[in-house]
Amino acid sequence: MMADRSTEVLAERADGAGAEELLLAQPRGFCAGVDRAIEIVERAIAQFGAPIYVRHEIVHNRFVVEDLRAKGAVFIEDLQVVPAGATVVFSAHGVSRAVRDEAQALGVRVFDATCPLVTKVHLEVERLRAQGCEIVMIGHAGHPEVEGTMGQVDGGMHLVESIADVDRLQIADPQRLAYVTQTTLSVDDAAAIVAALTQRFPQIIAPKKGDICYATQNRQDAVKFIAPMVDLLIVVGSRTSSNSNRLRELAEKRGVAAHLVDGPDDIDPNWLVGVRRVGMTAGASAPEVLVQRVVERLRELGVRSVRALDGVEENVTFKLPRGLSDDAPQ
């Protein structure tokens, strides 16, 4: 049935109906933290040989994970399955202190692919707890970044996912309270929760610099820019990707139909019926090769022209861990 409908849609495009233009948001796709994490796994495989054990998906993208698995990465959740003397990579989302201690006790070689912007939040949490502050973390329950950040200290942290959660907080000393955020949140949703926290706890300590990362901010700004121009937004990214889901939600909140796709096979031709202009972006863990495959699929479905919009040019890079850098002693 889908194939028949695809043929009908192709016929419509040939007759001059349907989407005329595809607009590509800028920036989109890989951020510096994702680039670094993938390179750490690839270099570890090249330097130490397969298998390399990766705790959790290195980034939340099915294509990336499958590609690295084919190269020799083994994705695990439990360090106990790692053989003695093997090499382990911690994912870009970060891990708790307990996981680090477990890896050390097992005697495995570890390379930490935690995004440096997540590590910044970890250090912030440690500093604030050392000063005697309770800490509110704004984030999504069950996300590995949240679990890793809250696991940097023993107690004294409260997870908040919504304004309603703020109302339920029980704080020992409101004069000694701070907050941090998951790096991949909706900027607008996080701001609303921060406003509620500040209203209830006027003395709450804010991060010196915002915790939501530059890539999350830039990609959400790009969606806000493109949304008024399009009838449909396609977000390339996996359903497990927090920042990709936030891009889809942001478009929907602005009245634009939006769909999250892992790749070209997820495109439903019915989405394009009655659509004149399509927009596309990609989450920070989605490679450009997937974007281009989706572009080609949309061309097959009759999109006539593709135009990349102007936007922020990102030039951020992060150093590799010692032992994998080009200049590291071998």
At 107, the amino acid letter reads: G
Active site residue 39: no
Tokens 């996300």 sit at which residue?
Answer: 143
Residue tagged active-site, from 134, 145, 147, 249 = 145
Q: Report the relative pairing of strands 277-282 and 232-236 from DSSP bridges.
A: parallel
User: What are the angstrom distances between the C-alpha of 68 and each of 28, 58, 62, 63?
Assistant: 21, 9, 10, 9
For the residues of 201-241, what is the DSSP string, one character each?
-TTPBPPSS-SS-HHHHHHHHHHHHHGGG-SEEEEES-TT-
Q: Which residues pair with 75 in a beta bridge?
A: 54
User: What are the angstrom distances between the C-alpha of 264 and each of 261, 282, 290, 303?
Assistant: 7, 13, 8, 14
SS3 181: strand
Active-site annotation, residues: 145
